[in-house]
């Protein structure tokens, strides 16, 4: 059984009369990379700060490694935080920055030196020990911040938008390195971001937060393929969300009516006639045809955007409702602007929002 390293038990947070976090309960396991993901102002950073002790909870309890730390000062909690701006001391060398926390805790010099050397080696900054932060690139500064966090040997590292200041190429490189480092260390990383690509790339689990509540807590694959709410479906990845109605059920098949007069055949999941559903189509799941085929959706190509390996098409369906497709260049060559096309989606890729599922 997995060991719970951080537990939020019915935690709420108010600022003045406004409730920011609403009765959140969350178990975070030892050695996992979990991401708190949501739009700006949803409360994800507030949750991180309550774990670190930088914000006091209004109600509920916070546990770290089995100990109730709700009223414990931030400096006495067994966690380290890496902030968005890295919070390095510009007048200190890399070595001294990494040593700062150890010095405050009065770790013996010989032990401190061993830990600093190990941390610097782990983040691949050997040879940079005597440089100052202004002499380093953004990626190198981020590595110093990570080294300073892991040198304390705590079981939990908190990261608050820690890659957001890096350029896109460097950010993607650091995502891979950060995940590798986390697995190598066996530490629990709790990462806050509004960037869905970061969350999908690095996380073991993702908590989608909306208006102070966790809407879904799942693996990246489960959240992308089987969102439980319309908000989650719309927030993670590109989405086309349509209203649907069950027109009838015959054995293992159900007939899903969308866009007034289009009927798709889907697997019957205990549906009832006239049941209303929210249906998700991811842009990359569409297949495009230049003639009508079984269960196809007719549409008019409104726009075409070249996007490297894929092309994005905007197609008007039904009563001129726009949907987005992501197709290969070869498939995109089947049509041009103002052409009529026919779209199909494999039955197994039609997602009913909120439905129970078994993860692959």
pLDDT digits (tens, 9 = 90+) for 233-278: 999 988 999 999 999 999 999 999 998 788 999 999 899 999 999 9
Q: Are 325 and 288 in contact (CB under 8 A)?
A: yes
Tokens 């009065």 sit on residue:
106
pLDDT in tens, 66-115: 999 999 999 899 999 888 777 888 999 999 999 998 998 899 999 999 99
- Give residue 357's pLDDT: 58
Q: Are 3 and 63 in contact (CB under 8 A)?
A: no
Q: Are 262 and 301 in contact (CB under 8 A)?
A: no
- Give residue 316's pLDDT: 93
State yes or no: pLDDT of 167 exceeds 80. Answer: no
pLDDT in tens, 109-124: 999 999 999 999 888 8
Antiparallel, parallel or unpaired: β 253-258 and 240-250: antiparallel
- Give residue 122's pLDDT: 87
- Give residue 338's pLDDT: 87
Separation of alpha carbons 302 and 339, rounded Å: 8
Q: Domain 4-235 belongs to what architecture?
A: 3-Layer(aba) Sandwich (3.40)
Nearest 5°: the CA angle 199, 201, 207 is 25
- Give residue 331's pLDDT: 67
- Give residue 223's pLDDT: 94
Antiparallel, parallel or unpaired: β 188-193 and 33-37: parallel
Residues of the chain above pLDDT 70, percent: 96
Determine the average pLDDT of the residues in 1-19.
93
pLDDT in tens, 168-206: 777 788 888 889 889 988 999 999 999 898 899 999 999
Separation of alpha carbons 273 and 295, rounded Å: 19
pTM for the full predicted model: 0.89
State yes or no: pLDDT of 3 exceeds 80. Answer: yes
| Mean pLDDT, all residues of the chain | 90
- Sketch the domain layout of the chain as residue ranges: 4-235, 240-352
Phi, then psi, of 38 in degrees rounded to 5: 175, 170
State yes or no: pLDDT of 330 exceeds 70. Answer: no
Separation of alpha carbons 111 and 130, rounded Å: 19
State yes or no: pLDDT of 308 exceeds 90. Answer: no
pLDDT in tens, 286-306: 988 888 988 889 999 998 887
Q: Return the structure tokens found at 131.
A: 């440089």
Tokens 């537990």 sit on residue:
7
- Give residue 332's pLDDT: 63
Say which CATH topology domain 240-352 has.
Answer: OB fold (Dihydrolipoamide Acetyltransferase, E2P) (2.40.50)
């Amino acid at each position: 059984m997995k060991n719970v390293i951080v537990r939020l038990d019915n935690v709420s947070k108010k600022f003045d009369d406004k409730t920011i976090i609403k009765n959140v309960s969350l178990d975070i396991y030892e050695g996992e990379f979990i991401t708190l993901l949501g739009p700006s102002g949803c409360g994800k950073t507030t949750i991180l700060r309550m774990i670190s002790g930088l914000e006091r909870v209004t109600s509920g309890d916070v546990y770290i490694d089995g100990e109730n730390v709700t009223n414990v000062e931030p400096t006495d909690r067994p966690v380290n935080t890496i902030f968005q701006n890295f919070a390095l001391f510009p007048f200190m060398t890399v070595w001294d920055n990494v040593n700062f926390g150890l010095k405050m805790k009065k770790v013996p010099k010989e032990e401190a030196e061993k830990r600093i050397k190990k941390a610097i080696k782990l983040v691949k900054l050997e040879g940079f020990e005597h440089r100052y932060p202004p002499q380093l690139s953004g990626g190198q500064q981020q590595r110093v911040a990570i080294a300073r966090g892991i040198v304390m040997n705590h079981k939990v590292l908190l990261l608050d938008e820690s890659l957001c200041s890096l350029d896109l190429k460097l950010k993607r490189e650091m995502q891979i390195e950060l995940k590798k480092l986390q697995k190598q260390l066996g530490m629990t990383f709790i990462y806050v971001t509004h960037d869905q690509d970061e969350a999908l790339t690095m996380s073991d689990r993702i908590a989608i937060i909306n208006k102070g509540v966790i809407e879904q807590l799942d693996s990246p694959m489960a959240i992308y393929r089987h969102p439980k709410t319309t908000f989650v479906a719309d927030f993670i990845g590109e989405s086309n969300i349509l209203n649907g109605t069950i027109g009838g059920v015959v054995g293992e098949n159900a007939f899903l009516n969308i866009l007034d007069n289009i009927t798709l055949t889907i697997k019957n999941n205990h549906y009832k006639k006239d049941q209303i559903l929210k249906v998700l189509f991811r842009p990359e799941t569409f297949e495009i045809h230049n003639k009508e085929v079984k269960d196809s959706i007719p549409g008019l190509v409104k726009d075409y955007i070249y996007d490297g390996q894929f092309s994005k098409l905007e197609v008007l369906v039904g009563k001129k409702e726009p949907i987005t497709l992501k197709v290969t260049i070869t498939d995109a060559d089947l049509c041009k602007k103002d052409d009529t096309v026919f779209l199909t989606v494999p039955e197994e890729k039609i997602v009913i929002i909120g439905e129970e599922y078994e993860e692959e």
